[in-house]
Amino acid sequence: MRYDGFLRVVRRRLRMPNGRESEWDLLDSSDSVVVLPLARDGRVICIRQYRPGPDAVVTCLPGGLIDPGEDPLRAAARELREETGWSAHRWQLAGPTQWFKSTEVSWAVIAHDCVPSGPQVLEDDEDIEVVLLDVADVRSRLRDGSFGTVQHAYLALDHAGLL
């Protein structure tokens, strides 16, 4: 895979609801998906990987960019399989999220009845460890700030009735 950059800053002149115009700098990126994968025993299939923003290894939910023309559920299935080696028997959209300083729409998806289905298929710059956590442990880590993909995790856990 050739690296073309994952995001850029764009400046847009926008008309505000009050009619005034203003210039805004926005992060521009492809849409993405984050998966709350629930194993058959109820545990959450998480990943641990280095993240350049915090410059640390972070425990979070699997996910990635949606390819052009790809459906969020198909992207979720692909990312889950590639990053964890697991697959799901049932999929559910929890909903979209969007940061106010970005053009990216990021989908939270729930993967139910997940089972191991083969080896991970990682990209050259990925080094991902799969970690299974109890829902209570994920919730505790969300509260203490030691878990990544926070808004997606809360949205998906709430949608699944697990908060």
Domains and CATH numbers, the chain: 29-159 (3.90.79.10)
The predicted-structure confidence for 103-135, as pLDDT tens digits, reads as follows 999 999 999 999 999 999 998 888 999 999 999
Q: What is the pLDDT of residue 8?
A: 86
Structure tokens at 34: 């984050």
82 three-class SS: helix
Average pLDDT over residues 47-68: 94
Residue 1 has pLDDT above 80, yes or no: no
**Among 70, 52, 49, residue whose Cα is nearest residue 60:** 49
Q: Which residue has the tokens 């521009």?
A: 28
Cα separation, 163 vs 158, whole angstroms: 5
Predicted pLDDT of residue 4? 62
Residue written as token pair 């299935």: 77
Residues 10-32 have a mean pLDDT of 92
**Confidence tier at 3 by pLDDT (50, 70, 90):** very low
Tokens of 90: 């049932």
Q: For 6-27, b where at least 16 C-beta lie within 10 A, e where not — what string?
A: eeeeeeeeeeeeeeeeeeeebe
Percentage of residues of the chain with pLDDT beyond 90: 85
pLDDT of 101 higher than 80: yes
Check residue 146 and give its pLDDT: 93
- Do 46 and 128 meet the contact criterion of CB atoms below 8 Å apart? no
pTM, 2 dp: 0.91
What average pLDDT is seen over the chain?
Answer: 94
Mean pLDDT of the region 12-33? 93
Residue 160 has pLDDT above 90, yes or no: yes
Concatenated DSSP letters of 30-79: --EEEEEEEETTS-EEEEEEEETTTTEEEEE--EEEPPTT--HHHHHHHH
